[in-house]
């Protein structure tokens, strides 16, 4: 589809020239010899307008403002034979892409029009992508009906409205970055950038440079100044994934950035203000890391303002069918195939597996199974052998496998499963769930926190949840 241009000028020769010029370039060109004529044509909508500033029946700047009110993404280039700094500044403030002086160079004008249209298209695309991203990372698109996940959602929605630092804890594959993004896009900082970095994936010197930037010549290979993520995310959110892997030296600098709200580039001596919200995440026990002397206690308290604990998938098995359905629809669409049904036996195997890789592992299994099966439904024979053999699931209490078993893990998993079922039956009330299992409330609360479970009474610190969700893999449902 050709792009539409409107040329507004009271000189007939200019109208004829520009209509011929841009028609040859493949544009659909309309002309208007006056402000009144332009106003009649504007409702038709144009990709770009070339508008003279001085017109017999009005001012081109007024037309510019009307165009921008009707559609801020329409590119406008102003033309004038009487160039003045004041009129140029006024035009740019009103939203003009640029202005040209008459008589203009035809080739330069063609380049300017192409540039204006390309820029406008990029802006529109960015707006579209941001809306798509925001719709993808809404709370409504995070999957989970279990009490553990509902408790997480309740805390996350409250946290999103604040600017407090958040620490998300959970096993790998539970959805820590997904939750972080949902917090950002539901927060007052949603117009700012969301940037993330895996603190365990980079060596100390490179991580420091990525976070704080560096000046030219700070080290070998630093051929130009670099802005760090603390400045790149200014006004937005910085997600520090796997913060437990951060070296003590970098921890000191991150702590200072959080306390003082300033950063200093590597090799630099100038401090710059930094306005970012920090959301950190880890799959480690930071209190153990503190006891081992590898994580700073003062940094822990600085990032642990609002803790959110995401439950492992084995502690919320009732969410497995929802996730299976979501991933079947997602990958069926990507593979351009009809969504497949899941047999009762296959679903039983999926629900019975312990999912050590959590939601990420479940997604991989569904994608693989869809790609390999030729039937119209997924059966138990389409699933990996480890699921059919029970995988990491707790074996029957009366049977010891030939290879033996990890008794402590078996007992922990069995306890977590029974406690999750008791919580569901008790409507999330821990005191009632404890009674169902013949446990003391203190004992139930201890093991619930250890397993990442969450109930509705007397448990945890204010604002703490007990769950552990799914990564970017877990949400998107309904986001298309």
The pLDDT averaged over each successive group of 10 residues in the chain (480 residues) is 85 92 90 92 88 88 88 87 71 86 86 88 64 49 83 89 93 91 89 91 90 88 86 94 94 95 92 94 93 94 95 92 91 91 90 90 92 87 79 46 68 82 81 83 84 59 37 38
Query: What is the total count of domains within the chain?
Result: 2
The answer to whether 6 touches 46, Cβ cutoff 8 Å, is yes
Instruction: Looking at the structure, tell me whether residues 8 and 71 fall in a common domain.
Output: yes
In a domain, 258, yes or no: yes
In a domain, 423, yes or no: no
Instruction: Looking at the structure, tell me whether residues 227 and 278 fall in a common domain.
Output: yes
Q: What is d(CA 338, CA 30) in angstroms, rounded to the nearest whole number? A: 47
Instruction: Looking at the structure, tell me whether residues 127 and 170 fall in a common domain.
Output: no
Instruction: Looking at the structure, tell me whether residues 187 and 83 fall in a common domain.
Output: no
Instruction: Looking at the structure, tell me whether residues 122 and 170 fall in a common domain.
Output: no
3 state SS of 273: strand
Pairing mode of beta strands 48-52, 4-8: parallel
Look up the CATH number of the domain holding residue 41: 3.40.50.2300
C-beta neighbour count of 453 within 10 angstroms: 31
The answer to whether 328 touches 321, Cβ cutoff 8 Å, is no
Instruction: Looking at the structure, tell me whether residues 29 and 121 fall in a common domain.
Output: yes
In a domain, 395, yes or no: no
3 state SS of 456: coil
In a domain, 190, yes or no: yes
In a domain, 416, yes or no: no
Instruction: Looking at the structure, tell me whether residues 109 and 35 fall in a common domain.
Output: yes
Instruction: Looking at the structure, tell me whether residues 239 and 120 fall in a common domain.
Output: no
DSSP 45-91: --SEEEEESEETTEEHHHHHHHHHHH-TTSEEEEEESS--HHHHHHH
Q: How far is CA 15 from CA 8, 29, 38, 149, 206, in A?
A: 7, 10, 13, 64, 57
Range of the domain at 209: 165-304
Q: How many residues does the structure list for the chain? A: 480
Which distant-in-sequence residues (6+ apart) come within 8 Å of 259 by Cβ?
302
Final residue belonging to a domain, choices 84, 110, 131? 131
Q: What is d(CA 214, CA 183) in angstroms, rounded to the nearest whole number? A: 30
In a domain, 169, yes or no: yes
The full 3-state SS of 155-182, as one line of letters, equals: HHHHHHCCCCCEEEECCCCCCHHHHHHH
Which distant-in-sequence residues (6+ apart) come within 8 Å of 465 by Cβ?
151, 152, 154, 155, 156, 307, 308, 309, 310, 454
Q: What is d(CA 5, CA 56) in angstroms, rounded to the nearest whole number? A: 22
Look up the CATH number of the domain holding residue 214: 3.40.50.300
Structure tokens given for 255: 């702590």
In a domain, 153, yes or no: no
pTM of full prediction above 0.85: no
CA 108 to chain centre: 40
In a domain, 279, yes or no: yes
C-beta neighbour count of 170 within 10 angstroms: 25
Final residue belonging to a domain, choices 278, 304, 330? 304
Q: What are phi and psi of 175, to 5 degrees?
A: 110, 35
**pLDDT for position 397:** 44
Place of tokens 């539970």: 174
Q: What is d(CA 151, CA 225) in angstroms, rounded to the nearest whole number? A: 45
Q: How far is CA 459 from CA 65, 259, 428, 462, 466, in A?
A: 58, 30, 11, 9, 9
Place of tokens 């050709």: 2
Instruction: Looking at the structure, tell me whether residues 9 and 125 fall in a common domain.
Output: yes
Place of tokens 């059966």: 379
Instruction: Looking at the structure, tell me whether residues 109 and 227 fall in a common domain.
Output: no
């Amino acid at each position: 589809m050709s792009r539409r241009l409107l040329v507004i000028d009271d000189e007939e020769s200019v109208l004829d020239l520009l209509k011929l010029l841009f028609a040859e370039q493949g544009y659909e060109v309309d002309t208007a010899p006056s402000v009144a004529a332009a106003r009649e044509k504007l409702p038709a909508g144009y990709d770009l307008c070339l508008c003279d500033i001085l017109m017999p029946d009005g001012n081109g700047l007024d037309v510019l403002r009307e165009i921008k009110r009707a559609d801020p993404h329409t590119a406008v280039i102003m033309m004038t034979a009487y160039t003045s700094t004041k009129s140029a500044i006024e035009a740019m403030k009103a939203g003009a892409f640029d202005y040209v002086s008459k008589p203009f160079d035809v080739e330069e004008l063609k380049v300017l029009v192409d540039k204006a249209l390309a820029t406008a298209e990029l802006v529109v695309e960015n707006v579209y992508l941001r809306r798509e991203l925001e719709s993808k990372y809404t709370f409504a698109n995070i999957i989970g009906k279990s009490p553990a996940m509902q408790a997480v959602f309740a805390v996350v929605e409250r946290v999103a409205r604040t600017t407090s630092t958040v620490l998300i804890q959970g096993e790998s594959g539970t959805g820590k970055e997904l939750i972080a993004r949902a917090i950002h896009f539901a927060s007052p900082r949603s117009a700012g950038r969301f940037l993330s970095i895996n603190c365990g994936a980079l060596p100390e010197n490179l991580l420091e440079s990525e976070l704080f930037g560096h000046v030219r010549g700070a080290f070998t290979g630093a051929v130009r100044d670099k802005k760090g993520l603390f400045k790149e995310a200014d006004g937005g959110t910085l997600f520090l994934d796997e913060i437990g892997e951060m070296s003590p030296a970098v921890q000191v600098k991150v702590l200072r950035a959080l306390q003082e709200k300033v950063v200093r580039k590597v090799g630099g001596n100038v401090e710059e203000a930094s306005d970012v919200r920090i959301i950190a995440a880890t799959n480690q026990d930071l209190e153990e890391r503190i006891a081992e002397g590898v994580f700073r206690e003062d940094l822990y308290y600085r990032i642990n303002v609002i803790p959110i604990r995401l439950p492992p998938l084995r502690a919320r098995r009732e969410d497995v069918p929802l996730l299976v359905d979501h991933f079947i629809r997602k990958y069926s669409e990507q593979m351009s195939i009809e969504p497949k049904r899941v047999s009762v036996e296959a679903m039983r195997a999926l629900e019975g597996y312990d999912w050590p890789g959590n939601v990420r592992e479940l997604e991989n299994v569904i994608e693989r199974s869809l790609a390999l099966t030729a039937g119209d439904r997924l059966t138990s024979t389409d699933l990996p052998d480890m699921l059919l053999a029970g995988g990491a699931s707790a074996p029957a209490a009366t049977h010891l496998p030939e290879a033996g078993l990890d008794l402590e893990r078996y007992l922990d998993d069995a306890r977590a499963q029974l406690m999750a079922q008791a919580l569901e039956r008790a409507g999330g009330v821990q005191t009632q769930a404890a009674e169902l299992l013949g446990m003391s409330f203190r004992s139930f609360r201890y093991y619930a926190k250890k397993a990442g479970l969450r109930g509705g009474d007397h448990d945890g610190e204010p604002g703490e949840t007990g769950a552990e969700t799914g990564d970017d893999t877990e949400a998107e449902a309904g986001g298309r």
